Amino acid sequence: RSVNKTALKVGPYSCEQVDEFKYLGVNVITKNNMHSGNQLRINIVNKAYFAMNKMLSSKLLSKETKEKLYTSFLRPIVMYTCETWSTTQGDEEKLLTSERKFTDLFDLKMENMRKKNKDLEMLFNKPNIRLFLKAKRLEWAGHVWRADENIIKNVLIRNVTKTRPRGRPRQRWLDRVKKYILNTDNSKRQDDAMDRNGWRNLVEACKRP
């Protein structure tokens, strides 16, 4: 569909309409998808990884130290604002592919073998990026559902009445969250978010493969 690129005027100011811009570290685009933003984050974390490669490949650092560097510095770069992402399976596969590089940080030797996601999980006992993403979405959903008359909650639960474009409808963020709940514990419902401890247990259970 064509996009009207008429400049937005606010008082004496005129704002040019663009296809893409960055706001608070997040790429906002007219196509309303996460593809370019995810690729940008992957490129940034790759630069950080190669900048630290000499240090991370050093045998002077313990496996525990390398693990902390990954989970506290490298992973947050690529997973910034992941709670609100509406990703496709292709987006998540790219994230998983980028994470496989970090098996080298933990001295994982796999000659003549393909590195798999479970290898990284088994090595330092942490969920992979896809499971981490699921858990963060559930955590954020619980926070929003517990809010009382909050603007974020209203945006989430209100239905858009505008006619959908032709073709297969996109899977919504809320649809994914409800699917996670059903697959993790089919006895849980949205209202269970009011029980913080119970919801926290659900989030932890979601991290398990």
Which pLDDT score, from 0 to 100, does residue 111 have? 46
Q: Are 53 and 44 in contact (CB under 8 A)?
A: no
- CA distances 90 to 26, 34, 58, 125, Å, are 19, 11, 33, 25
Which pLDDT score, from 0 to 100, does residue 104 have? 62
Which pLDDT score, from 0 to 100, does residue 77 have? 85
Backbone angles phi, psi at 182, to 5 degrees: -65, -40
- CA distances 135 to 52, 76, 118, 156, Å, are 28, 14, 17, 18
Residue 185 clears pLDDT 80, i.e. is over it: yes
Q: Are 45 and 38 in contact (CB under 8 A)?
A: no
Coil, helix or strand at residue 189: coil
pTM, two decimals, is: 0.75
Which pLDDT score, from 0 to 100, does residue 110 have? 47
Among 62-66, 83-87, 121-125, the range scoring the smallest mean pLDDT is 121-125
pLDDT tens per residue, range 93-142: 888 888 877 766 665 554 444 555 565 565 566 778 888 889 999 999 88
pLDDT tens per residue, range 195-207: 889 989 999 988 8
Among 16-30, 45-59, 137-151, the range scoring the smallest mean pLDDT is 16-30
